[in-house]
Amino acid sequence: MIMSKIKEAVKRYLERHGCTSMQCRAALIDMDGVLYDSMPHHAEAWYRTIAPLGIACTREDFFLLEGSTRTRTINMFFNREYGHDAPEEVSLALYEEKVRQVRALGEASRRPAADKMIASLLAHDVRTVLVTGSSQGTLLELLDTDYPRAFNMPYRITGEDVKHGKPSPEPYLMGLQRAGVESHEAIVIENAPLGVQAGVAAGVFTVAVNTGPISATALYDAGADIVFDSMPHFAEHVDELIEVINTIGL
Ligand code: MG
């Protein structure tokens, strides 16, 4: 069942890109929601920042906006409520408050089975590259402890490295460049619609792992080539995915 789903997804990708074959030489991996269960904290922190302003919002709104920049996130709510962007000084103050709230919520835990996924990728000689919009020092420091040797420099792209965040393809194009591979020689591993859009716009086969409260449909609508319903589910089938990618042709 899962095997035929994987084969169909890879064939569809090849057809769409006019390729006869592909290779999995690199995996470009998102951090929040994929490697760490940090999204509930981010969503809660945003909610505690925006809701007291009297702006209508839900925690789920922030899951859907995951990966978006500060400006874009805050302006979306200002425009919805007031019909204009937030003044820059207001935006900066709100972001400061959001960061304070995230810190108050404490450390996010490592996502179960994410280490198994990384081990499978490395066992297949797939170069792992971190591609996150986050510049959050605490999680970035934890990476070396939690995922040793997986994301050594220069294989780490953060919010500091890019001009345009997801859904722009820029972070993933930079990831391809760092890994020294073409778009049909990599996979993107994402959990959020905007991140999926970024991976697809970079021309990369994009795997969505649904680790939050949003529907699989939202991830397919964003363009995901295949959606797994949890990290343990994906970790269990990552070997098969790599084998299919490396052997199937049109
Ligand atoms: Mg994410």
Residues 52-56 have a mean pLDDT of 96
**How many A from CA of 190 to the centre of ligand 1?**
6
The protein residues having their C-beta less than 5 angstroms from ligand 1 (an ion) are: 30, 32-33, 191-192
Q: What pTM was estimated for this model as a whole?
A: 0.92
User: Which residue type occupies 226?
Assistant: I
Both tokens of residue 187? 């996979």
**Whether residue 180 has pLDDT greater than 90:** yes
Residues 139-168 have a mean pLDDT of 90
Phi, psi of 125 (to 5 degrees): 60, 30
Tens of pLDDT, residue by residue over 82-102, are 999 999 999 999 999 999 999
Tens of pLDDT, residue by residue over 192-239, are 999 999 999 999 999 999 998 889 999 999 999 999 999 999 999 999
Pick the residue with more confidence: 134 or 187?
Answer: 187
